[in-house]
Structures are given as C-alpha cells and as structure tokens.
Amino acid sequence: MEAQLAILVFSFGLLLILGVPVAIAIGGSALLTLLSVGQVPANYLIAQRMSTGIASFPLLAIPFFILAGILMGEGGMARRLIELASALVGKYRGGLAYVNTLTCLMFGAISGSATAAVSSVGGIMIPEMIRKNYNREYSVALTTAAATTGLVIPPSNIMIVFAVVAGNVSVAAMFLAGVLPGLTIGLAIALTCTVLNRYAAPEGEASATQRNTSWADIRQATLGALPSLGLVILVLAGILGGAFSATEAAAIAVLYAFVLAVLIYREVKWTELPSILLRTGITTSIIFMLIGTSQAMSWVLAYENIPQSISQALLGLSENRVVILLMMNLLLLCVGTFMDMTPAVLIFTPIFLPVATGLGMDPVHFGIMLIANLCIGLCTPPVGTCLFVGCSVGQTSIARVTRPMIPFFFAMLLAVMLITYCPPLSLWLPRLLGL
C-alpha cells in the first residue's frame, strides 16, 4: 500500500508541476497507480469509474445552477442588490464597505459563484469605493473576501458535489446547513470592516447615496431587489417543502432567471443567449471531467485502503478531538492555497470524511467545515481564483492586495474555527426541519 500511495502522490504532484490540467493529472495518477498493482484491468476500470462517477441524478443540478447564475450575473441583479444594501447600511461611516459586504453575500447566494460575485459586484463597488477615496487595495481585498460567502450560503454547486462524493448526504440538508455558517463568515468580515473603517474609511464618507435613508427608500429598494432574492427563496422553499428535488429546483431556477433577466429586466439580449449557453457548457464539462477522474481516484484510494490508513494514522497521533480537527483544518487550509475548490473537495472528501465520522462528526457538519476552509483558499495566492479576478477588476497587483487581505483572512479563519467547534451552527436548521 505504501508503494502505491507514493506512486499516486508523486505522479499527481509531478503532473501538476508540468502544467498538466488538474483533471488529467488526477486521472493519469490514478491510472499509473492501478498499473503498478498488476493483474488489474486498469484502463477499463478508470473508464468505467469515470462514466459511473458522473452518472448521478443530483449532478444534473450543476449545469442548471451554472446557467441560472450566469443569467443572474448578466441580468442586472448586482445593481439592484447594491441599491438595497445601500439603503440598509449605506448611511453609516464606512458605509460603502458594509454595502460591498452585504451585496457580495446576497449576490453570491443568488449566483452560487464567488468569481461571479467578484466580477459583477466588484465591477460596480470597487470603482465607487475608489471614487470616494477608499484605498484601492483595501477595496479589492474586501470584495474578494466577501464574495466567498456565496459558496457557503445556498444554493451552491460545491455543496452538490460534496453530497455526491460523500455518498449518503442530503443536498437539502447541506443547503440548509450552510445558511448560519455563511452569515457567520459575512458577519466576521463586516466586523473587520468596522475596525478597519477607522483607518480605511475617508472622513465624511457616510453613505453610498450621500443622503439619509428613509423607510420609503428602504421599501423601494427592497421591492426592486425582491425579484432577484426570490430565486433563493424559491429554491429553498421548494426543496424543503418537498415540492421538488434539488435537480428540479435547479431547472426551475433557470426558468426564473431567464424570465427575470431576458423578459422583465431585459438586460440580457436574445442574441447573447448562445454565448451564455456555450459558457455554461464549457464550465460544466470542466467540472464533470474533474468529477469523473476524481471518482476514479477515489476508487483507487478505496481499493488500496488508503483513507482507512490515513484515518488510523491521524487518530493514532492524538485522542483529543480538538487537536485532530485543528490538524484537519490546517491541512485543508494548505490544500486550498494550492488547489482549486472543486478538485480539492473531490480528492480530500474520501480521505478526511472517515476521520471525521470516526470522531463522531456529522457528515453534513464536516462538509460545511470543508467548504468554509477551502473558501479561504480562493482569496490567497498562488491559486486564489477570486483574488486574481478581484485584482483584474480593481486594476492592481496581487502583491499590493496581499497585505490588506490579512485582516480578512484572520476574520474568515476565526469564523471557520467557530464553525468547526460549534456543530449546532451547521446542524441546528437541518435538524429543526428533520433533515
């Protein structure tokens, strides 16, 4: 087993260093490991596991949610959510920072994409914050950190991926479990803004609209943003009410987003739909290729009893649950720094889930902890996708944004520790509704 593990790790690392796409690196290392075993039809098994790995009904929700997210992102939802957030929190000193945080939280939940939140919200908020004399790098760091909350708050594609890989885990339970942890991370970022606003907020900057907000303003902004927020309400209410499954909810979300973006707001033209469908297809193919090859690697890991061996090794290091969970968090933080979120979930769920369940941890709680950890990696170099997008939108460099990002990094880290060691934060809502 030690030899196969060494081959798997070495070949996977070497392929990544050579610049091979992650999905090919995963499948190639799994194939090489099986070939080293001998007397195993490696080519047949890898192809079979890849095909059966994506032959899952819940995975059909992913292309639908991707399409719905793109439609919402292109359909003017960000501007309407900014108006709502501005009406709610824009009147305070440093209000633009709060508006940015709240908008990213809402838009991320609607689109299910952190990068979409950075590009859509950041495209409006970062120039506005700079115009109001906020530091450019601070504005980019705040937007990048706040955008990741949308991956924890439902609906979220990465939660569907985890539920499929983990096995007997309900997508509805994952969706519901992410609500309070996502709000916790958003609150931690907002509190960090409160501290930093003393230094970052320009004197006299009190409102995104430069006026006192009345109840009439709040009511008008709420009515304007309510159709956009209705997507989240529709999906969650439908799933939890038993009206439709997560996959059916995704299809309904596409119809809802299409009607809103194309027919009502009319900010997405009919001529733009082919390119949107093409983007959806490309993104879906990448994710499904990752899922297929990762399922093949998971089979190889199980065949060699590698997850069980790692679980026994970790549990043998300490009997203290707090220490083991801390070690898992540190490992996941390192993984998130060097690997994108989807392959990280696909590869490390089969490895760490037996350890978590061995500690008596609920799989749903573990899934939220895993996703929250990996969200931090989206904000850190060298593979931080959201950081790259934020720097591109804000027209600055990663080196300049790294220092302003540090306070938000620690705020998110503290939120993850709270999620890890406070199970009711993730499990209270699912258990309340019997999921």
Q: What is the pLDDT of residues 112-141, one digit of tens each?
A: 778 778 887 888 888 888 888 888 889 899
Of 142, 160, 229, 149, whose CA–CA distance to 183 is shortest? 149
Spatial contact of 365 and 181, defined as CB atoms under 8 Å apart: no
Q: pLDDT tens, 385-404?
A: 788 888 888 888 888 888 88
Predicted confidence band of residue 307 (pLDDT cuts 50, 70, 90):
confident
Question: Which DSSP symbol is given to 170?
Answer: -
User: Which position has the higher pLDDT, 281 or 336?
Assistant: 281
The pLDDT of residue 210: 45
Q: How far apart are CA 69 and CA 287, in angstroms?
A: 15
Question: Which DSSP symbol is given to 147?
Answer: H
Question: Which DSSP symbol is given to 267?
Answer: -
The pLDDT of residue 371: 93
Average pLDDT over residues 308-326: 79
User: Which position has the higher pLDDT, 223 or 203?
Assistant: 223
What the block records as the tokens of 86 is: 């501005």
Spatial contact of 391 and 401, defined as CB atoms under 8 Å apart: yes
Cis peptide bond prior to 155, omega within 30° of 0: yes
What the block records as the tokens of 14 is: 């070497």
Q: How far apart are the first and last CA of the chain?
A: 38
CA 28 to centroid of chain Cα atoms:
26
Predicted confidence band of residue 426 (pLDDT cuts 50, 70, 90):
very high
Predicted confidence band of residue 202 (pLDDT cuts 50, 70, 90):
low
Question: Which DSSP symbol is given to 264?
Answer: I
Q: How far apart are CA 165 and CA 298, in angstroms?
A: 9
Q: How far apart are CA 10 and CA 137, in angstroms?
A: 38
Q: Is 121 left (phi over 0), alpha (psi -120 to 50) or beta?
A: alpha
> pLDDT above 90 covers what percent of the chain?
15
The pLDDT of residue 278: 93
Predicted confidence band of residue 425 (pLDDT cuts 50, 70, 90):
very high
Average pLDDT over residues 332-360: 84
What the block records as the tokens of 267 is: 């900010």
Q: pLDDT tens, 155-180?
A: 888 898 898 888 888 888 998 899 99
Cis peptide bond prior to 382, omega within 30° of 0: yes
Q: How far apart are CA 110 and CA 59, in angstroms?
A: 19
The pLDDT of residue 414: 95
Q: How far apart are CA 210 and CA 197, in angstroms?
A: 17
Average pLDDT over residues 80-94: 76
Of 394, 371, 389, whose CA–CA distance to 379 is shortest? 389
Angle, alpha carbons 433-357-331 (nearest 5°): 110
Q: Is 318 left (phi over 0), alpha (psi -120 to 50) or beta?
A: beta
Q: How far apart are CA 70 and CA 64, in angstroms?
A: 10
- pLDDT surpasses 90 at 206: no
| Angstrom distances, CA of residue 235 to CA of 61, 89, 104, 410 | 12, 27, 19, 32
Continuous segment of H or E residues that includes residue 229: helix 215-240
The pLDDT of residue 209: 43
Q: What average pLDDT does the structure give for the chain?
A: 83
State the amino acid at position 371 in one-letter form. Answer: I
Q: How far apart are CA 273 and CA 262, in angstroms?
A: 9
Most confidently modeled of 280-294, 364-378, 385-399?
364-378
Predicted confidence band of residue 40 (pLDDT cuts 50, 70, 90):
low
CA 163 to centroid of chain Cα atoms:
14
State the amino acid at position 289 in one-letter form. Answer: M
- pLDDT surpasses 90 at 181: yes
Q: How far apart are CA 313 and CA 264, in angstroms?
A: 57
The pLDDT of residue 69: 81
What the block records as the tokens of 107 is: 């838009």
- pLDDT surpasses 90 at 355: no
How many CA atoms are closer than 13 Å to the CA of 295, on its beta-carbon side?
A: 23
Spatial contact of 420 and 369, defined as CB atoms under 8 Å apart: yes
Q: pLDDT tens, 210-219?
A: 456 667 777 8
- pLDDT surpasses 60 at 207: no
Q: pLDDT tens, 323-332?
A: 889 988 988 8
Question: Which DSSP symbol is given to 175?
Answer: H
Of 340, 435, 427, 318, whose CA–CA distance to 385 is shortest? 340
Spatial contact of 363 and 166, defined as CB atoms under 8 Å apart: yes
Predicted confidence band of residue 90 (pLDDT cuts 50, 70, 90):
low
Q: pLDDT tens, 234-272?
A: 888 887 777 888 788 888 889 988 998 888 888 888 999
